[in-house]
Structure 1
Amino acid sequence: MGNQKIPATPSIRRLPSYLHIIRQAQRDGLEYISGTVIAEELNLEAIQVRKDLAITGIVGKPKKGYPVHALITAIEHFLGWDSIRDAVLVGVGNLGSALLGYQEFQFHGLNIIAAFDKDPKKIGSSVHGVPVMPVSTMEMQIRNLGVKMAILTVPSAFAQETTDILVKAGITAIWNFTNVKLKVPENVVVQKEDLSSGYAMLCVMIQMAQMQPKK
């Protein structure tokens, strides 16, 4: 994005939830949907929804709301989900296998075309239709495939050395599911997913709910 300022992370994270609701409105035959309706579905403030949608460049119509089809198009384009992105996955363990089988990715333009692992029992097989290749050939295979995105689900001890190979192979975007803060060149972007932080949030919410006075 060069020197462009990236919109606030919470706004970006909320857009997929909005998209789910708007797509349902489309299936129900609605031509317009208001920010208030989206807000009520997600227990948010309507003004927050309108601010979030504004980053996509779309403008609603007074008393009507947003044209459903145009709103879907605007969100998908902003997120880059209207184009196909090929990716590879490294580390076909429990999490890696689950991600390979996650069917929703295809609706977001993410196409995992190959996976890599060290386990001889997995090499040469396919997981959810994705071929598993040896890590030892990863650099060459990625260059041949011309892929620029990688999903990293290896054990943390191997995260950095695997990343170094990915970068050398030409990968410029890494979705990091390890707990390691990766060291990469400036031209490589990394998104770290910390599953434990989501669980921590859930635990705090449970404790807060238990502290609420019983009616």
Structure 2
Amino acid sequence: MNRLKIPAAPSVRRLPAYLHLVKQAQEEGYDFISGTVIAQELNLEPIQVRKDFAITGITGVPKRGFPVAPLIAAIERFLGWDAKRNAVIVGAGNLATALTGYQEFKFHGLHFLAAFDSDEAKVGGDIHGVAIYAVRDLAEVTARLDAKIAALTVPSAAAQETAAAIVGAGIRAIWNFTNVKIKVPDGVSVQREDLTSGYAMLCVMMQPHAPRVKE
């Protein structure tokens, strides 16, 4: 996932789905939620749910389940979603438009404050209220905004060069939406999102007599 080894990566990927269900239970007035109920909702085994929750440091109460409010707090704390993180997007195209328009990010502490592009025609404009700057101003603007994360949404041919510019600007966390495996120095975290992988899984599941696949 990045150069810093993250234990239990599949468990981490499941935590947002758990959080959604637990928050839903809270809204419905529940003080406790069963790991078995969560497992059934997400097509998982109860023991897997318990193991996943264990990495957050929370434990259940016998015969009652997991306390809802502390569970929400534990998951958000583990994910770092209880703190605000300023972010920028490099590559102000269609994907950047989609990312800045997704309001759920703000509820998890992620705030896109600026976008950058090499197309001078876009500079000075905005996407969903996020100002677009020239890539040459990347270091100055990210420092002023105290940005910690950069989403990389440029064409693949420009991915490595742009990643180097991001690192040079002092950013140490890159969310890579290109199909290029970028090279970065030690100490820089990279999460690559392959948008075709989910589509591939869906297509396999649609095949006749496809085996049942758990998310």
Shorter chain as normaliser: what TM range?
over 0.9
Instruction: Trace 1:134-149 onto structure 2 (pairs within 5 A).
Output: 134-149=134-149
**For 1:10 and 1:197, how far apart are their aligned partners in 2?**
15
Q: Which runs of 4+ in 1 moved over 6 A?
A: none
TM-score of the aligned structures, taking structure 2 as reference length: 0.93
Note if contact 1:91-1:117 (Cα within 8 Å) is conserved in structure 2: yes
Note if contact 1:7-1:55 (Cα within 8 Å) is conserved in structure 2: no
**Secondary structure, counterpart of 1:204 in structure 2:** helix
CA root-mean-square deviation: 1.6
User: Which fold has the larger relative contact order, with Cα–Cα distance below 8 Å and residues 6 or more apart in sequence?
Assistant: 2
Note if contact 2:204-2:210 (Cα within 8 Å) is conserved in structure 1: no
Which is further off, 17-26 or 119-128?
Answer: 119-128
Q: Post-superposition shift, 1:152?
A: 0.4
Instruction: Trace 1:36-115 onto structure 2 (pairs within 5 A).
Output: 36-115=36-115
Matched, 1:14 2:14: yes
Q: Post-superposition shift, 1:140?
A: 2.1
**Secondary structure, counterpart of 1:15 in structure 2:** helix
Note if contact 2:205-2:211 (Cα within 8 Å) is conserved in structure 1: no
Note if contact 1:116-1:132 (Cα within 8 Å) is conserved in structure 2: yes
Query: Residues 19 and 211 of structure 1: is their aligned pair in 2 closer, same or farther, counting only changes over 3 Å?
Result: closer
**Secondary structure, counterpart of 1:190 in structure 2:** strand
Query: Residues 208 and 72 of structure 1: is their aligned pair in 2 closer, same or farther, counting only changes over 3 Å?
Result: farther
Deviation sequence 1:108-143 (CA, Å, 0-9, x none): 110111100122332111211111111121122223
Deviation sequence 1:31-83 (CA, Å, 0-9, x none): 00010010111111111111101110000000000110000000000000000
**For 1:110 and 1:148, how far apart are their aligned partners in 2?**
10
Letter in 2 for 1:107: F
| 1:29 corresponding residue in structure 2 | 29
| 1:154 corresponding residue in structure 2 | 154
**For 2:96 and 2:209, how far apart are their aligned partners in 1?**
33
**Secondary structure, counterpart of 1:174 in structure 2:** strand
**Secondary structure, counterpart of 1:123 in structure 2:** coil
Q: Post-superposition shift, 1:149?
A: 1.1
**For 2:178 and 2:5, how far apart are their aligned partners in 1?**
27
TM-score of the aligned structures, taking structure 1 as reference length: 0.93
**For 1:124 and 1:6, how far apart are their aligned partners in 2?**
38
* Number of residue pairs matched by the alignment: 209
| 2:124 corresponding residue in structure 1 | 124
**Secondary structure, counterpart of 2:207 in structure 1:** helix
Which is further off, 189-198 or 139-148?
Answer: 139-148
Q: Post-superposition shift, 1:12?
A: 0.6
